Amino acid sequence: MFGKCIGNVRINAPLVHNITNYVTVNDVANILLACGSSPIMADEPEDAEEITAICKGLNINIGTLNKRTIEGMFRAGRRSEELRHVLLLDPVGAGASALRTNTAVRLMEELSFDAIRGNISEIKTLAYGSGTTKGVDADVEDAVTEENLDSGVRFAKEFAKKAGCIAAVTGAIDLVSDGESCYIIRNGRQEMGKITGTGCQLSGMMTAFLAANPKEKLKAAAAAVCAMGLAGEIAWDRMQEGDGNAAYRNRIIDAVYHMDADILEEGAKYEVR
Amino acid sequence: MFGKCIGNVRINAPLVHNITNYVTVNDVANILLACGSSPIMADEPEDAEEITAICKGLNINIGTLNKRTIEGMFRAGRRSEELRHVLLLDPVGAGASALRTNTAVRLMEELSFDAIRGNISEIKTLAYGSGTTKGVDADVEDAVTEENLDSGVRFAKEFAKKAGCIAAVTGAIDLVSDGESCYIIRNGRQEMGKITGTGCQLSGMMTAFLAANPKEKLKAAAAAVCAMGLAGEIAWDRMQEGDGNAAYRNRIIDAVYHMDADILEEGAKYEVR
Amino acid sequence: MFGKCIGNVRINAPLVHNITNYVTVNDVANILLACGSSPIMADEPEDAEEITAICKGLNINIGTLNKRTIEGMFRAGRRSEELRHVLLLDPVGAGASALRTNTAVRLMEELSFDAIRGNISEIKTLAYGSGTTKGVDADVEDAVTEENLDSGVRFAKEFAKKAGCIAAVTGAIDLVSDGESCYIIRNGRQEMGKITGTGCQLSGMMTAFLAANPKEKLKAAAAAVCAMGLAGEIAWDRMQEGDGNAAYRNRIIDAVYHMDADILEEGAKYEVR
């Protein structure tokens, strides 16, 4: 099932517009190419509005935002919405500053996203208006664990329902819900947290998966989460003595590059509630 | 012949100023270091104008452009021209948006470039005023192939003549012309298209090659194209099982790092028409 | 002694705010994660001011500065100072342009830094008001060598005393002084100069070391310099045939990832004068 989702990315090769932070942008571009999509980046408002029109999806990531790029997010976002393109929000650091929280909240209010992907602290900030985000990482106390899984699933469903879109809450255990059902995903490794931008990369890739699978968006979003986590597992198996987080970053992108329908189908670890 | 061109880069170690996009900037810097040049980046108008004065060449790449950096491109460009430094334009995404097309056209009108390097769709946009660019990649229908090579060569020559500078149209087959003769280059691998920024990297490196070989600019530009393509071939031979586009990116830069006059001389695949 | 410094980074995991250039920012983020710290980047003035409040240290790097980010540096810097956080300046390219020199000088005048880290040409520019910086690299004539070591040590001490903070002058031989004593460090390899951003990475890591070792700042700064140089040595030993500066960049970050107290303790090469 998920195999078909990545297959469609490779067949349709959707062009994805990314307004994203300058920290991890190169990795976002390379992972989009790795999964069969094409990336384009543009953040100047008038350019962003026009560039998004030739794409199939828009990934808005608020890390290293500024007033100019925020305007770019809104203008490109509105255009993307008019054209019924896929629209995804990655609220990096929501809860860590007023500008980030307010920008994310305003984006949610003014645009109709297909999906919002963030860590649990960021999503809690969007749900409750204030958060306990530790910088750009989730607060340990917020973490979704096997012990509090039921309440995590409930939260993801309620947030998705309220937001009117797919909610992808990623961490040690990932939750992807459309408000009705919730995928609980157990792919991935904790060492992925030692690489900057695995979340940003997933957001880019999820946008591509949604754009290539417009009729099965919940599955597509869950498939992207599984693909990223599975790439983390495959990449870890290829680590050599002395390899650290820089090698791991490269190996994860490489694992996505080689991931086909069968690999994803067999490696995906999830249940639906 | 091309061997001497890369040898001169290593001997002269030209300082190259890059006003370039934030997606691929790190790779541009590392490939410039790999080939024996030194990179410096500055895009704030007053800073760019002053920084360019201490360099030997300026590489203007319009990816992720904004109003502030566009002003930086013009101010640094004029200064660079006054000082008779090497000046190169990479019209990333010309044809994909009005801002990009117009900026590239205005830059060409107001500045005297030594070289313009882009994919066929970008260059056609500059030649005919409108293009069919698919984002930042060339349109498949535009591609230079063995079948349409004659008309491709004619186009490259005419564009170079009209633009008054070297035209480097890169793709599966690369064309480098000064309006009189045209190098047809068959180095490279198609998998390079799966890495973000190989074109940007080539533009940076071409600026260094031009700056280090001021009396043989056409050869220098063609040598840079061969060097990049050859690095792609050498790097591919070093790929290990499981390696993908992230490893390939690193291996290409590493191949440039080890490329000397003999390697380039022996590996360059070109003819002149 | 230095072992405890890196141990404290891993135990305390300080959140470090970086206002840094877009060329090397991804490597700065990954090396901070590698050493046990967490990075966050924010440069929009109001965001930077607020983000810095949740961090333990602020690393101000003036590469690719612009008017907006300069305001961000001052506002975040003042806030960081009020909160008595660690504050570090990396004057990238001071001496290469008036904007860079003046910004670095003004930052020094208006803020109380804990440490300033730069190459010898940048630091001489700050000491004497004008410099001979060759772009972002040190001028060869300025280099600290075994022959001029005494005057180099004297210079580092005097600069540190005048600046009222730790001075880290890095190059083939590194000098780290608080005005009273001076660490002379002989870790590292010259090939590190062929990678973009090893200096930027060190500045990020030094901020983390200072934040995690508030009572032993001189030792912490010297330990960070040793750790970076030692990582360059360990990484070099892991280089394989055909590896170049791209592989080396990754391997250095990986060496930091695996560096523990014992490795640093045994590998550090320094004397104190």
| Amino acid residing at A146 | E
Count of beta carbons in the 10 Å neighbourhood of residue B237: 9
Query: Chain C closest CA to B1's CA: distance in Å?
Result: 24
| Contact across the interface for A23 and C29, Cβ inside 8 Å | yes
Burial class (CB in 10 A: 0-12, 13-18, 19+), B258: middle
pLDDT value of residue C38: 98
Q: What is the CA radius of gyration of chain B?
A: 17
- What digits encode the pLDDT tens for the residues B151-195? 999 999 999 999 999 999 999 999 999 999 999 999 999 999 999
pLDDT value of residue C198: 98
For B244, the token pair is 């993908």
Q: Where are the beta strands (DSSP E) in chain A?
A: 15-19, 38-41, 57-61, 86-90, 115-119, 166-170, 174-177, 182-185, 270-272
Residue-averaged pLDDT of chain B: 96
Residue B27 forms contact with A (CB below 8 Å): yes
Total residue length of chain C: 273
**Partner residue facing C33 (CB), from A97, A245, A250:** A245
| Contact across the interface for C68 and A66, Cβ inside 8 Å | yes
Average pLDDT over residues B39-52: 98
pTM of the model: 0.97
B84: left (phi over 0), alpha (psi -120 to 50) or beta: left
- What digits encode the pLDDT tens for the residues C52-105? 999 999 999 999 999 999 999 999 999 999 999 999 999 999 999 999 999 999
**Partner residue facing B136 (CB), from A40, A43, A251:** A40
| Amino acid residing at B111 | L
- Contact list in A for residue B246 (CB cut-off 8 A) is 30, 34, 249-254, 257
With CA atoms as reference, report the closest residue to C47 among C23, C25, C68, C26. Answer: C68
Residue A201, CA atoms < 13 Å, CB-side half-sphere: 27
* ipTM of this complex: 0.96
CA distance B213 to B10: 11
Residue B196 forms contact with A (CB below 8 Å): yes
pLDDT value of residue A255: 98
For C266, the token pair is 């045994």
Query: Chain C closest CA to B223's CA: distance in Å?
Result: 20
Residue A245 forms contact with C (CB below 8 Å): yes
Per-residue pLDDT of chain C (273 residues; tens, 9 = 90+): 899 999 999 999 999 999 999 999 999 999 999 999 999 999 999 999 999 999 999 999 999 999 999 999 999 999 999 999 999 999 999 999 999 999 999 999 999 999 999 999 999 999 997 655 556 677 778 899 999 999 999 999 999 999 999 999 999 999 999 999 999 999 999 999 999 999 999 999 999 999 999 999 999 999 999 999 999 999 999 999 999 999 999 999 999 999 999 999 999 999 999
pLDDT value of residue A133: 55
User: What sign results for the dihedral spanned by CA atoms B26, A242, C213, A139?
Assistant: positive
**Contact partners of A by the rule of 3+ C-beta pairs under 8 A?**
B, C
User: What sign results for the dihedral spanned by CA atoms B257, B258, B264, B265?
Assistant: positive
Is pLDDT at B135 greater than 70 in this prediction?
A: no
Helix (H) or strand (E) holding C176: strand C174-177
CA distance B250 to B27: 9
pLDDT value of residue B141: 81
Query: Band of the pLDDT at B131, cuts 50, 70, 90?
Result: low
Task: Work out the end-to-end distance of chain B between its first and last CA atoms, rounded to an integer number of angstroms.
Answer: 17
Compute CA distances A212 → A10, A202, A222, A225, B238, whole Å: 9, 15, 13, 15, 33
- Contact list in A for residue C238 (CB cut-off 8 A) is 242
Cα C202-B24-B241 angle, rounded to 5 deg:
90
Burial class (CB in 10 A: 0-12, 13-18, 19+), A150: exposed
| Amino acid residing at A22 | Y
Q: Are C116 and C166 in contact (CB under 8 A)?
A: yes
Residue B46 forms contact with C (CB below 8 Å): yes
For B105, the token pair is 């056209």
pLDDT value of residue B105: 97
Instruction: Kindly list the domain boundaries of chain B, sorted by start residue.
Output: 2-272
**Partner residue facing C134 (CB), from B15, B29, B253:** B15
pLDDT value of residue B67: 98
Average pLDDT over residues B65-75: 98
**Contact partners of B by the rule of 3+ C-beta pairs under 8 A?**
A, C
Helix (H) or strand (E) holding A100: helix A98-110
pLDDT value of residue B1: 84
**pLDDT over 70 for what percent of chain B?**
97
- Contact list in B for residue A63 (CB cut-off 8 A) is none
- What digits encode the pLDDT tens for the residues A130-175? 655 556 677 778 899 999 999 999 999 999 999 999 999 999 999 9
Burial profile A30-51: b = 16 or more Cβ within 10 angstroms, e = fewer: bbbbbbbbbbbbbbbbbbbbbb
- Angle of helix C245-257 relative to helix A245-257, nearest 10 degrees, comes to 120
- Contact list in B for residue C246 (CB cut-off 8 A) is 30, 34, 249-254, 257
Compute CA distances A245 → B128, B191, B238, C213, C249, whole Å: 47, 25, 22, 24, 12
For B247, the token pair is 């490893």
- Contact list in A for residue C25 (CB cut-off 8 A) is 22-23
| Contact across the interface for B66 and A55, Cβ inside 8 Å | no
Burial profile B145-168: b = 16 or more Cβ within 10 angstroms, e = fewer: eeeeeeebbebbbebbeebebbbb
Give the CA-trace dihedral at B18, B261, B245, B205, to 10 degrees. Answer: 10
B244: left (phi over 0), alpha (psi -120 to 50) or beta: beta
Query: Chain A closest CA to B178's CA: distance in Å?
Result: 30
Task: Give all strands of the β-sheet with A270-272 in edge-to-edge order.
Answer: A38-41, A15-19, A57-61, A86-90, A115-119, A166-170, A174-177, A182-185, A270-272
For C37, the token pair is 């710290």
For C155, the token pair is 């210079």
pLDDT value of residue C76: 98
Residue of B nearest to C251 (CA): B250
Query: Chain C closest CA to B127's CA: distance in Å?
Result: 32
Cα C176-C179-C184 angle, rounded to 5 deg:
30
Residue A57 forms contact with C (CB below 8 Å): no
Q: Are A114 and A210 in contact (CB under 8 A)?
A: yes
Residue linked to tokens 């920024």: B197
Residue A258 forms contact with B (CB below 8 Å): yes
pLDDT value of residue B132: 57
Residue of B nearest to C101 (CA): B47
Residue linked to tokens 């070093």: B238
Q: Which residue has the higher pLDDT, B37 or B136?
A: B37
The series of mean pLDDT values per 10 residues for chain A, 273 residues long, is: 96 98 98 98 98 98 98 98 98 96 97 98 91 66 93 98 98 98 98 98 98 98 98 98 98 98 98 97
Helix (H) or strand (E) holding A49: helix A45-53
Residue A140 forms contact with C (CB below 8 Å): no
Interface test with B, best of A47, A54, A55, A66 (most B CBs within 10 A): A47
Q: Are B22 and A64 in contact (CB under 8 A)?
A: no
The third-level CATH classification (topology) of the domain covering C2-272 is UDP-N-acetylmuramoyl-L-alanine:D-glutamate ligase (3.40.1190)
Cβ neighbours of residue B149 closer than 8 Å, sequence gap 6 or more: B173, B184
| Amino acid residing at C46 | E
Is pLDDT at B130 greater than 80 in this prediction?
A: no
| Contact across the interface for A26 and B21, Cβ inside 8 Å | no
- Give a three-class secondary structure readout of C25-58: HHHHHHHHHHCCCEEEECCCHHHHHHHHHCCCEE
Say whether C17 sits in a helix, a strand or coil: strand
Average pLDDT over residues B201-221: 98
Q: What is the DSSP string of chain B?
A: -HHHHHHHHHHH--EEEEE--TTTHHHHHHHHHHTT-EEEE--SHHHHHHHHHTSSEEEEE-TT--HHHHHHHHHHHHHHHHTT-EEEEE-TTBTTBHHHHHHHHHHHHHS--SEEEE-HHHHHHHHHS----BTTB--GGG---STTHHHHHHHHHHHHHHHTSEEEE-SSSEEEE-SS-EEEE----GGGGGSTTHHHHHHHHHHHHHHH-TT-HHHHHHHHHHHHHHHHHHHHHT--TT--HHHHHHHHHHHHHT--HHHHHHH--EEE-
Residue C63, CA atoms < 13 Å, CB-side half-sphere: 31
**Partner residue facing A250 (CB), from C34, C50, C250:** C250
- Report strand pairing: A166-170 vs A174-177: antiparallel
Alpha carbon A201 to its chain's center:
7
With CA atoms as reference, report the closest residue to B174 among B164, B159, B184, B182. Answer: B184
pLDDT value of residue C132: 57
CA distance C188 to A125: 44
Residue of B nearest to C94 (CA): B51
CA distance A146 to A141: 14
- Contact list in C for residue A244 (CB cut-off 8 A) is 34, 253-258
